[in-house]
Chain A
Amino acid sequence: MSEELIGAVYIVSAILFVFGLKLLGSPATAVRGNQLSTLGMLVAVVVTLGSTDIIDYRWIAIAAALGAVVGIVAAQRVAMTGMPEMVALFNGSGGLASLLVGWAALGMEGAEGDSQSAFTIITVLLSILIGGVTFSGSLVAWAKLSETMPSGAISFPGQQFVSLILLVATIGCGAAMLAQPDAGTAMLVYAVIALSVLLGVMAVIPIGGADMPVVISLLNSYSGLAACAAGLAINNTILIVAGALVGAAGIILTNIMCKAMNRSLSNVLFSGFTASKSAA
């Protein structure tokens, strides 16, 4: 299939996502909304499989089959009360996927055939950073909800300072990669991955278990942004559109959820610190 045709079908798929999200917001139409959005995803995947760029289907078939089995079994086995945990796990899985797509995009040839453009490197770094934070943050949220780890807020002195240092180190690694795209890239990529995973853990551990639904909603928004960044890195419009939609809608939903608890988002995100301060 030509690229124009695929692009046109991506537009249809984007329309389905938009209507799907819209209808999901109202009780009478929510079921249809989810079906429309599922159809949008199916259409996007099928048309992508028809692309002439794809020359080898073996890996795709194996990975997709395994993923579908795991997804189906997990979705059917989970108890209704365990839904938020399950969503957190799925969300982490999506974040990890965006991280891997960004990482694999480094294996693409640049426009001139040799090194990557600055635009590609920045977007790859963003998808790794946001994807990594989503992945580990979601895992911590899952662990707190399922009480695999203590569900209370975990904080230690200087925690925000440590997070800041991690963030600065991540930006430093990114800048180093931009300065010399060919030298020592692999080590820097590993460093960025490790730092972003750590950042995700640091962001979620100071938040108490009762606030996890809000955190999962926020991380859901992040996973959309990670997909969006991955789309910019590999030049894929449907990833950009759908990712940005989820990113923006997720932020709004997070805000609505906070308001329903009569709290502000910053109160939820940083309450662990104030609690530890008053305790000390």
Chain B
Amino acid sequence: MEMVFLGFVLMLSIFLGFELISKVPATLHTPLMSGANAISGITVVGAITLAGGELAGWATLLAAMAVFFATVNVVGGYMVTDRMLSMFKKKDKPEARS
């Protein structure tokens, strides 16, 4: 049952992801890629559960390393996206208003 439930969640998320992105102007390709990349750092949540749980020493160490790398991905990813968009906003402000 659990597997069926997770399968449904997976299927619906994939279809949603396909539909979310439609027409994207070329200037937004890199920021969108970077923003999506930051979301994929969600693996930090899984790493936290494992690193704080009751696991053997080796697994806890691996999970702690995962927390480190995923945090780099999340924090760096969102900041870089924000920096790119702030440049972009200044340049295109009149256009964005119309």
A interface residues (Cβ-Cβ under 8 A, vs B): 17-18, 20-22, 24-28, 30-31, 33-34, 37-38, 40-41, 44-45, 48-49, 51, 53-57, 59-60, 62-64, 66-68, 70-72, 74-76, 78, 80, 83-84, 86-87, 90-91, 93-94, 96-98, 100-101, 103-108, 119, 213, 216-217, 220, 223-224, 226-228, 230-232, 234-253, 256-257, 260
Number of residue pairs A-B, CB distance < 8 angstroms: 350
- Taking a contact as CB atoms under 8 Å apart, the answer to whether A70 and B76 are in contact is yes
Contacts of A51 in B (CB 8 A): 49, 52
A44 to B71, CA, bound (A): 13
- Taking a contact as CB atoms under 8 Å apart, the answer to whether A54 and B53 are in contact is yes
Q: Which of B10, B25, B38 contacts A41 (CB 8 A)?
A: B38
**Overall SS of chain B's interface:** helix
- Taking a contact as CB atoms under 8 Å apart, the answer to whether B63 and A101 are in contact is yes
Contacts of A257 in B (CB 8 A): 29
| Contact (A75, B80) CB under 8 Å given A227-B40, A240-B13, A248-B14 | yes
A30 to B76, CA, bound (A): 18
- Taking a contact as CB atoms under 8 Å apart, the answer to whether A27 and B25 are in contact is yes
| Contact (A86, B80) CB under 8 Å given A21-B36, A250-B36 | yes
- Taking a contact as CB atoms under 8 Å apart, the answer to whether A60 and B74 are in contact is no
Contacts of B46 in A (CB 8 A): 101, 227, 230-231, 234, 236, 239
What is the minimal beta-carbon distance from B67 to any residue of chain A, in angstroms? 4
- Taking a contact as CB atoms under 8 Å apart, the answer to whether A57 and B43 are in contact is no
Contacts of B51 in A (CB 8 A): 59-60, 63, 104
- Taking a contact as CB atoms under 8 Å apart, the answer to whether B65 and A100 are in contact is yes
Contacts of A80 in B (CB 8 A): 83-84, 87
